[in-house]
Amino acid sequence: MEDAGRSARKVEAQVAEAVAAVRARAPQAAPRVGLVLGSGLGAFAERVEQATRIDYAELPGFPEPGVAGHAGRLLLGSVGGTEVAVMQGRAHYYESGRADAMKVAVRTLAGIGCDILVLTNAAGSLVEWAPPGAVMLVSDHINFTGVSPLFSEVGDARFVDMVGAYDKELRKNLKQDAVRCGLELPEGVYMWCAGPNFETPAEVRAAKVLGADAVGMSTVPEVILARHAGLRVAALSIITNLAAGISETPLSHAQTMEVAAAASDRVQGLLERFLANLSEGKH
């Protein structure tokens, strides 16, 4: 195992290099909001105005794109008048077995000035009020993996308070914006499951007993990293299916991509309105 001190110094160096690379490529950029686009939401990148596109390959420590539907690009530009840094593609725990795969990326977003992080994902639903095609605002999470992206961190800051991790004010703003968009936006608890296999029906029953409303394979490590870095966080789940054992339909990544793409326009509209209201000082 890598020595904790050495790996911390490596992360710090990669963040510094990535921040410098972004500043060199987009010297005027002063992003306020970071966004991570999950499955099916990649098209939001087209809404970024005056975008500078930087391949992750140019940013040390950024994820290597692996999963179909995830590009590997950071975009700097603006949406609705708010300056943003958009991650088109994320790393998942299941790709490498490393829960900290997004550590450099999240810290880089903080390093270039973001103080809000909005995460999106695809998820399976456990509840009838969030059927496939619905969009759920994450109110809290359950970490079902037993790992943390902060393993091997040192110092008192690693003991991150997770109360209010999904920022109350941002949630209120997003709910108001959803009403204006004519979009239903129920709130629910997201459970992080390791993947890449889907859950078993017994795991889904357990998830329900434990208090989850949806299950998915991402987002939670980024939320923990973002809270550690002092960012305010919001997360949206596109419900792409009923979780294992709830319906007869076999689960597949193809279905995830198809349903997420169908809901994508509504989520993009919501994000655009949220960013416009932010720039106009309405949030």
Q: Name the site residues for ligand HPA (rule: CB under 6 A).
A: 122-124, 193, 198-199, 215-217, 240-241, 243, 251, 256
Side-chain half-sphere CA neighbours of 150 within 13 A? 18
Nearest distance in Å: CB 4, ligand HPA: 31
Nearest distance in Å: CB 244, ligand HPA: 6
In this complex, which beta carbon is closest to ligand HPA, that of residue 256 or of residue 264? 256
b/e burial code for range 169-206 (CB count within 10 A of at least 16 → b): ebbebbebbbeebebebbebbbbbbbbeebbeeebbbe
Neighbours of 81 (CB within 10 A): 12
Q: End-to-end distance of the chain based on CA atoms, in angstroms? A: 45
In this complex, which beta carbon is closest to ligand HPA, that of residue 119 or of residue 217? 217
In this complex, which beta carbon is closest to ligand HPA, that of residue 79 or of residue 259? 259
Nearest distance in Å: CB 217, ligand HPA: 5
Q: Which of 205, 25, 58, 226 is nearest to 138 (CA)?
A: 226
Nearest distance in Å: CB 121, ligand HPA: 7
In this complex, which beta carbon is closest to ligand HPA, that of residue 16 or of residue 262? 262
Tell me which H or E stretch contains 118: strand 116-125
In this complex, which beta carbon is closest to ligand HPA, that of residue 148 or of residue 237? 237
Angstrom distances, CA of residue 221 to CA of 122, 124, 147, 186, 280: 15, 18, 9, 22, 31
Nearest distance in Å: CB 243, ligand HPA: 5
